[in-house]
Structure 1
Amino acid sequence: MFSFMDISNRNRGSTFCNHGHFHQDYEKSKNRKSDFRGGKLQVLDQRNHTWGESGNPLHFQGTPLSSDFMGLPWSDFIEMEQFSDVPYEKGVYRIKGLETNTLLYIGKSKQLKNRLRAHIRKDWDQGVKCSYCVIKSAKVNHLKEFENDLIGAYFSLDNSVPMFQFKNLKE
C-alpha cells in the first residue's frame, strides 16, 4: 500500500520546491490582492529564507485521535470554552466532530490560538473539539511537511482524507 509518507521516508526529506520550500534564487508571488508576482532574485538580494533542508519526517504511531498520533505530544481535545489555555505558538492541530467522533481536519499554524479560534467559528455541521501540538523550533515549511505527514498517515489508515480537509467551510 502506498502512502504520502513513503516519498518523504525514502528520500529522508521532501522535494526542494514543495511544502513551503521555494528555490533560493527566486521570490514567491504574493496573494492575488497584492498583485505582486515573484521572479528571479537579483544577485545582491538576500536568498529566499524557505530554501534549505527538510525537517525529519514524522514516524507512524498511534491512531488519528490518539494522544501520541505520529509521535507528537498532542494536547487533550478541548472545546471553545477552554481556548484561554491555547498558546500563541507555532504548531499543528486536528479537529474532531463531537457527533461522529472522527477527525474532520488537520492543519498547521504560526499562531495556534488565533487559527483555532477562526476554525471553531466555522460551520462544521456539528460541534467540534480541537487538539494541538506546539512545535516552537519548526520553520514554517517544516510545519507544512508535518501537516502533510499527518494527512498521509490518516490516508494510510482510512484510505481517505479527513472529511473537511479540502472543502471550504462557511464562516
Structure 2
Amino acid sequence: MTAFAGTLLAAALLLPAVAWVPSAGAQVRQCQGPAGDTVFTDRSCDDVGAVAAVPGATVTDRRILNGCARNVRELVWEVSTAIDRGDVNRLAGVYHWTGISGSSGNSIMERLQGVVARPLLHVTPVVHRPPPRAWSVLDDGRRPEAAAPVALQLDQLHPDGGSSRTTFDLREHFGCVWLAG
C-alpha cells in the first residue's frame, strides 16, 4: 500500500467521526427547584428535579445571521432585543462563557436574569480615550486612530421610578464580540 493510499484510507475512516460532531445549540433553561431556588441547566427541568420557572424560557430566537455578533452594533442590537423580550437565554447567548466554572455560571445567569427583568432605557458603548497631549511637529497632520469600545453601559428603569446602570466588559474571541464581566 502506498503512503497516499494509506492516507486516503485513514481519511475515509475518520470522515464518519467528523460528521457526527454534535450541535453546539444547547439552550440554557431557567428552572425553579423544590426549595424555590433558581436553577440554570442545559437539560430539561424535570431531569434536575425542578419545574420551568419562566414560561417559554427554553426558546432561543437567534437573529444574528452569522452565529455571533461580529461588531458592537450587532451586539447592542442583540442585547437590546433580549432585554425588550425579557429573554435571559438570548442575553446569555452573547455572553463570553469561556473559562467560567459552574458556580460562577449560576451567579452570572442570576445577574443576567436581573438585567432582562428591568426595562431598558439605552445602551451606550464605553470608549476609553487617552488623555490629550500637546501638538507635536512629529504628528505631521495625521489623526490618531479612533479608540474601540471596551464596554457596554446599560441604563435601566426600576419599578420604583429610579434607574440603574450596569456595565459589561467587551471581549473579542474568534472574530466575535461578547459581553463579559
> How does the TM-score come out when normalised to structure 2?
0.29
Q: Which has the higher helix share?
A: 2
Structure with bigger gyration radius:
2
Write 1 or 2 for the structure with the bigger share of strand: 2
Quick one: higher RCO (CA 8 Å, sep 6+), 1 or 2?
1
TM-score (norm 1): 0.30
